[in-house]
Amino acid sequence: MSDPILSVRDLSIAYRTGRKESVTAVSGIDLDLYEGQSLALVGESGCGKTTLGLGLLRLLPNLGEITSGSLTYRLKDGSRADLLQMKKEPLRRFRWNEAAMVFQGAMNAFNPVIRIFDHFADTLRDHADGKKWTKAAVEARAGELLETVRLDPDRVLQSYPHELSGGMKQRALIALAIALDPQVLVLDEPTTALDLLTQRSIVQQLHELRKKFGFTMVFITHDLGLAAELADRVATMYAGRIIETGSARDIFYDPKHPYTAGLINAVMPVKGDRPALESIPGYPPSLKAMPDGCAFNPRCAFATDACKQDRVPLSLLTERPSGMDHSVACLHHDQVRLARSATDQLASFVEGESANV
Amino acid sequence: MSNAPLLKLSGMEQVFETKKGPVPAVGGVDLEVKPGKVLCLVGESGCGKTTTARAAAGLTKPTAGTVEFRGKNLAEMTAAERGQYRRAVQYIHQDPYAALNPTRTVFSTLSAGLKKHGIVKNRTEARAKAAELLQLVDLTPPESYLDSYPHQLSGGQRQRVNVARSLALNPDLLICDESTSMLDVSIRVSLLNTLGRLRDELDVGFLFITHDLAVAKYFAWDGEIAVMYLGKVVEHGPTPEVIGNPQHPYTKALIGAVCEPDPDLAKANRSAEQLRSAEIPSLRDLPAGCAFHPRCPAFEPGLCDAAEPPLQATPSRRKLSCHVVHRDLQRATPDATLTFDAVPGSRRPETESAL
């Protein structure tokens, strides 16, 4: 694989909380994303995953600010550009043509007083690079996209957002995001608040769209099941930093950070037997009062004095191609195990099944 | 304590009158909750889970059928009996952010019910009792929480305060409406473990509502699950049976749709059977026959769209409403039980050779 489509170096993002105060929500992110990959940013509320996702497109709200780092994209024409240096007009052209976002909460992402058609028309006209979008052209493009996500264009384009169900809105939103064929798509909690069966159909649709359009995907989720379903790569975030990153198989079958392992151990399986589950003790730290050393040390069973001294940087465990290296920020990673591996669970399930039959 | 049900819903129906016509949110359900046991209601949004819970809590009056608490019909209770019922049944809401009064401290929230029902005589007693409650839900030390306001607490801590409030009056029955769905994974497990302890130690019965089958399985393992679809129960039985060996096509679809944190399993299941339609029909315009037939992969014309399937007992220890399953059971009794593919999406690629 060639050079990355997106390189993030030492990215930090802070929110102003007062005239001279601010809290750092995301710090020191390094990330290389290669064409066609799908990366999941996982973590619990407040870990900075949404802030990082918004930061990747410079879409932070007014109080948020990128305080350091660089964000280099490889554009469609092959040139490279640092997003943080971009002026307003190039930035507007960049968004949607090069990278687009599907915001959290399909219910509220559309303007409730204009029809779906007008959302497509506004987006295409506003972000298009010199192309004239006539009504017929918009209809043709929108119709094609809606059909790919299995919606009926004639009905949906004439509808107001409230006339569509949650799943239909989410699908229309995804169709809208890829309207100008972006190379990178950032999705924030794409299936949260949707019903189980609707979630499943969105997941299926995203697989198909990736196959068809080949975009690179970053998606933000707290649902590890969804990450296993959609991601090639996973990055776990805790207290504003990436604390473990690797291929989906490395992360799910052999996590090396106690927090990642804790998250996976806390997932309740539906298939197989019912293990007793352990939760991670305590609560995540406040951004205003971050513990010294490793931010996870107050909740960690492996913590020693060394963990309370200096922040633990990510270190490489296993080298893999195309940025899939398994790296972890933990001094005691060699002691971390999953409570029960997935294979164990399935083995016991199979035994149970044969006993029943 | 006897084995008589705490709560009994018989033929309970709830029809809401709207400008666009009547909406039958719940179309006749029969359910029971026993002391120290869990009954879990699962289903998608709009299936009538919350409406059922609200009627059980006496917050709405069912349009037909009865709700009985300890054998007494709710509609015929005297004021004194109703007071007792109100004390004995408590409700834990979904949203920990909205359920607490933002202008009251934790102590004030917890002591309101205690004072109202005359359980405590003075402030010292109230504080001691409130501290005890906080300890029960693992908010320790209680002193550091008593004088906090909700905005100073995290979502998980707030939901624990909600649980503590519902326990203040020593309830016999807790109705939990999606009480853990807004919490993070790690916090959810610890809250469920706390609730499980209350169930086992204090013999509290639970009517537990969730859309999350994993939560249902985890919490109601020794209890029962009732799967609802468009206002009706479609499959109802002991949790290990319903989750481990679902029979109704709708239950199968729900279980198959769960994403498990296992990339290989996920990849193997990408080609799993799809529903015929992703959209839920409107309650105002229910399909003829079985309400699930427009989406059902096992749909058979002439059978499923003709008459509504009754909820009947099957040999596999559960009640079920599906024409196809019941017919197949009658035709071929010996091998109508379980195959490995009974749970769609349980097959991992590596294990295929092993079988």
Q: Looking at residues B251-278, what average pLDDT do you find?
A: 82
Position A277 scores a pLDDT of: 82
- The answer to whether B332 contacts chain A (CB < 8 Å) is no
CB A348 within 8 A of CB A335: no
Q: What is the CATH number of domain A6-231?
A: 3.40.50.300
CB B333 within 8 A of CB B266: no
Does this chain's domain A6-231 share its CATH topology with A241-356? yes
Position B352 scores a pLDDT of: 40
Of B92, B90, B89, B55, nearest to B75 by C-alpha is: B55
Position A352 scores a pLDDT of: 41
Q: What is the CATH number of domain A241-356?
A: 3.40.50.300
- The answer to whether A262 contacts chain B (CB < 8 Å) is yes
Q: Looking at residues A148-166, what average pLDDT do you find?
A: 91
Q: Is the dihedral of CA B325, B330, B331, B337 positive or negative?
A: positive
Position A325 scores a pLDDT of: 93
Whole-Å CA distances, B221 to A113, B65, B84, B122, B161: 46, 29, 30, 41, 25
Question: How many whole angstroms separate alpha carbon B227 and alpha carbon B251?
Answer: 7
Q: Which of B255, B261, B338 sits opposite A267 (nearest CB)?
A: B261
Q: Looking at residues B146-169, what average pLDDT do you find?
A: 89
- The answer to whether A220 contacts chain B (CB < 8 Å) is no
Position A354 scores a pLDDT of: 40
Asked which of A127-141, A142-156, B330-344 is least confident by mean pLDDT, the reply is B330-344
Percent of chain A with pLDDT strictly greater than 70 = 94
Q: Which residue has the higher pLDDT, B279 or A152?
A: A152
Question: How many whole angstroms separate alpha carbon A45 and alpha carbon A49?
Answer: 8
pLDDT higher than threshold 60 for residue B211: yes
Position B348 scores a pLDDT of: 52
pLDDT higher than threshold 60 for residue A346: no
Residue of chain B with shortest Cα separation from A231 = B263
How close A10 gets to chain B, by Cα (Å)? 28
Span A169-209, pLDDT tens digits: 999 999 999 999 999 999 998 888 788 888 888 898 899 99
Contact between chains at B156 and A283 (C-beta distance less than 8 A)? yes
- The answer to whether B314 contacts chain A (CB < 8 Å) is no
CATH number of the domain at B7-233, out of 3.10.20.30, 3.40.50.300, 3.40.470.10, 3.40.190.10?
Answer: 3.40.50.300
**With a cut of 0.85, is the ipTM above it?**
no
Span B16-40, pLDDT tens digits: 998 888 899 999 999 999 999 999 9
Domain ranges of chain B: 7-233, 249-354
Whole-Å CA distances, B10 to B31, B68, B323: 7, 8, 23
Contact between chains at B218 and A278 (C-beta distance less than 8 A)? no
Position A44 scores a pLDDT of: 86
The percent of chain B in helix, strand and coil, each rounded to the nearest 5, is 35, 20, 45
pLDDT higher than threshold 50 for residue B338: no
Position A349 scores a pLDDT of: 43
DSSP string, A32-57: EE-TT-EEEEE--TTSSHHHHHHHHT
Q: Which residue has the higher pLDDT, A106 or B108?
A: B108
Q: Looking at residues A267-293, what average pLDDT do you find?
A: 83
- The answer to whether B263 contacts chain A (CB < 8 Å) is yes
How close B148 gets to chain A, by Cα (Å)? 16
Q: Which residue has the higher pLDDT, B190 or A100?
A: A100
Q: Which two tokens stand for residue B224?
A: 């029962």
Span A51-89, pLDDT tens digits: 999 999 999 988 999 999 999 999 999 999 999 999 998
Backbone angles phi, psi at A243, to 5 degrees: -105, -15
Position B154 scores a pLDDT of: 81
Place B337 in a pLDDT band, splitting at 50, 70 and 90: very low
Place A143 in a pLDDT band, splitting at 50, 70 and 90: very high
Domain ranges of chain A: 6-231, 241-356
- The answer to whether B336 contacts chain A (CB < 8 Å) is no
Mean pLDDT estimate for chain B: 86
Strand A233-238 with A38-42, pairing = parallel
Position B331 scores a pLDDT of: 81
Q: Which two tokens stand for residue B251?
A: 């239950």
pLDDT higher than threshold 60 for residue B350: no
The residues facing B15 across adjacent strands are: B24
Span A26-56, pLDDT tens digits: 999 999 999 999 999 999 888 899 999 999 9
Position B344 scores a pLDDT of: 52
**Which of the 8 DSSP states describes residue A218?**
E
* Residues of chain A positioned with their CB less than 8 A from the CB of B273: none
How close A206 gets to chain B, by Cα (Å)? 12
Whether residue B141 has a cis bond before it, omega within 30° of 0: yes
DSSP string, B224-245: EEEEEETTEEEEEEEHHHHHHS
How close B263 gets to chain A, by Cα (Å)? 5
Scanning B89-223, the segments in alpha helix (DSSP H) are 106-116, 123-136, 143-146, 155-167, 185-202, 213-219
Position A279 scores a pLDDT of: 80
pLDDT higher than threshold 90 for residue B7: yes
Contact between chains at B189 and A196 (C-beta distance less than 8 A)? no
pLDDT higher than threshold 80 for residue A343: no
